Amino acid sequence: MNASTLQLLLQLAVATPLAGGLILAFGNFLPKRLCKLVAFVGFLVPLLVALHLWWAYSDAPKSDGYAFLSSVDLGLSALLGISLKLGLNGISLPLFVLAAIVGFAAGLVALNSGAERLKLYLMLLLVMHGGLMGVFASVDVFFFYFFHEFALIPTFIMVGVWGGRDRTYAAMKMTIYLTAGAMLSLAGLIAIYTKSNAASFDLIALRAALADAGGLLPALQNYFFGLLLFGFGILVSLWPFHTWAPLGYGAAPTSVSMLHAGVLKKFGLYGLVQIALPLLPLGARDWAPWLIWLALANVVVIGLVTLAQRDLKQMIGFGSVMHVGYGFLGVACLSTLGAGGAVLFMVAHGLSVALLFLLGQEVLVRTGTFDMTQMGGLVKRAPVLAAFFSAAMLASIGLPGFAGFWGELTVFLALWNVSHLYAALAMLGLILSAVYGLRAVAKIFFGQPTELHAKYAEANPTADLSWSARIPALVLFAALFFLGFWPKALTAPLNETLGTIYPALEAAVKVAANQ
C-alpha cells in the first residue's frame, strides 16, 4: 500500500469506533441485532488496521521519526497551534496495538454481556475505545490529552450506571482523583508549550523548539516535570495516590475494567516516556530518586496489601496497582533500556490484567461470589477456565514464555545499572505476586469445595467456559504468548525510536551529574 492509504487506515482506526458510537447514539430505530453488528465492526476494524500497520511499520517511510504521519487542520492551528496530527513511532506503536487488541476483546465481552440498555452500553464503550486509539495515534499533544479525556468520561458513566457493589462511591472517587490528575498534567503540558515558544503544539515542533533553544532552564524543568509526574502518576495509580483504582475496578463492569486497567491506565506512563523524559531531562533527573521510592512502594507495600485480599476482583485490582510500579521504575532509570522496559511492561501488563478481569468474571458466574474463601474444586466443573486462569496468572507474574517476562527482565536490568539495592527490592515483587497468584489458583480451582460453593453449584450447573468467553480470552492469550516468544516484533521499532530520542536524555543527565 502507498503512504496515503496507510495514513487513511490510521485515521480509520480512530474514526470507526467513534462513528459506531455516533450511529448507536442516534439510531433508536435500529434493531438490536443491527446495533450489535455496528458495534462489532467498530471493535474489529481498529484491530485489523493496527495489525496491518504493525506489519507495515518497518518498511514505511518515516518523517521526523513517525510513520503514517498526516495532519488535519481544524482551523485552530493559526490561533492556538493545534491540529489533528496522527502518526506512530516506535514508542506509540506498541500501545496502539495494545489498545486495538484489548478493545476488541472487551468489545466481544460487552456484546455477550446481556447488559441492560445494551445499545447505550455499547455506544459508551465504543466512544471509550475510539478515544484510546486516538491517544496513542496523536502526535499533537493537545489531542493526546483530549482523546484521553474523551475516553475517560464514558468510564465514569459506565461505572456509575452498570457497576456493581459501591458503584456510586467508586465513580465519585474515580472522578475526583482522575480529574485532579488530568488537571495537573494539563497544566504541565501547557507550561511546556508556553515556555518552548514552539509554533505548534505537536510533539515534533516542541522537540525541535527546545533543541534549538538548548532546553528549558533547570528550575523550570523541575517544576514542569513535577506537575507531569504527579498528574500522570495519579492517573496511573502511583502510590500513595492509588486508592481509587482497586475500588473502581471492583465496581466497574468487566469490559470497562479490561479497557481501563489494560489500556487507559497506560496513558500516564506513556506520557512520561514519550513526552516528559525527552523534553525535561534535567527535571527527570531531579525527581528520579523520589520516583524510585514511590514506585518501590507500589511494588512492595501494595504487594503486601494484595496478599491480604480475599475478594478475587479486589486482588486483581490491587495486583494491577502493584505491577505498575515496574513501569515507573523503568521510567526512573532515565535510560534507553529503562524506557524500553517500561513500554514492554505496559503492553504485557495490559494484556494480562485484561485477561484476568475477564476470567475473574467467569469465576463469579460459576461460584456466585468473588470471596475466595468460599471457593474450591472449580477445576472439576470448569477445567478450561482453570487452565486459562492459571496461565493468565503465570503471565502476570512474568513467567518466561509470556510477554511479561521481557518487560520485567528489562526493567530489572536497567534498575540494576542504577542501584543493586533498588533492583533487589523490586525483585521482592516477584515473590509477592507468585504467592498471591498461585494461592488464588489453588484456592479457587483445587481443594475441597465449601458448603456454600457446593450448594450454588448444584443450583446453578453452569458449564465450562463458553466460546463467547473463550474467543476474547484466546485473543489476549495469543498476544501474550506471541510476544513472549517473539519480543523483537515490538523491540525492533522501539529501539529505532529510543535510539534517536534517548541518547540526548542520557547525555544531558550525565553532563548535569558531573557539574
Listed by start position, the domains of the chain span 3-514
**Measured distance CA(91)–CA(103) in Å, rounded:** 19
The model carries a pTM of 0.92
Peptide bond into 240 cis (omega under 30): yes
**Measured distance CA(41)–CA(27) in Å, rounded:** 15
Q: What residues are paired with 66 via a beta bridge? A: 63
What's the pLDDT at 353?
92
What's the pLDDT at 293?
93
What's the pLDDT at 248?
81
Q: Residue 114 — φ and ψ, nearest 5°?
A: 65, 25
The residue whose grid cell reads 534549538 is: 212
What's the pLDDT at 469?
85
Q: Distance between terminal CA atoms of the chain?
A: 51
- Compute CA 204 distance to the chain's CA centroid, rounded to the nearest angstrom: 24
- What stretches of 308-402 show up as alpha helix (H) in DSSP? 312-332, 336-367, 383-397
What's the pLDDT at 47?
96
**CA nearest 408: which of 417, 395, 389?**
395
What's the pLDDT at 328?
92
b/e for 144-172, b at 16 or more Cβ within 10 A?
Answer: bbbbbebbbebbbbbbbbbbeeebeebbe
The secondary structure of residue 97, as a DSSP letter, is H
b/e for 274-295, b at 16 or more Cβ within 10 A?
Answer: bbbbbbbbbbbbbbbeebbebb
Per run of 10 residues, the mean pLDDT along the chain (length 515 residues) is 83 92 82 87 94 90 86 62 84 94 94 83 92 92 88 85 78 83 89 82 82 76 89 88 82 88 89 90 88 92 90 89 91 89 92 93 84 81 88 89 88 90 90 90 81 63 78 93 91 88 70 57
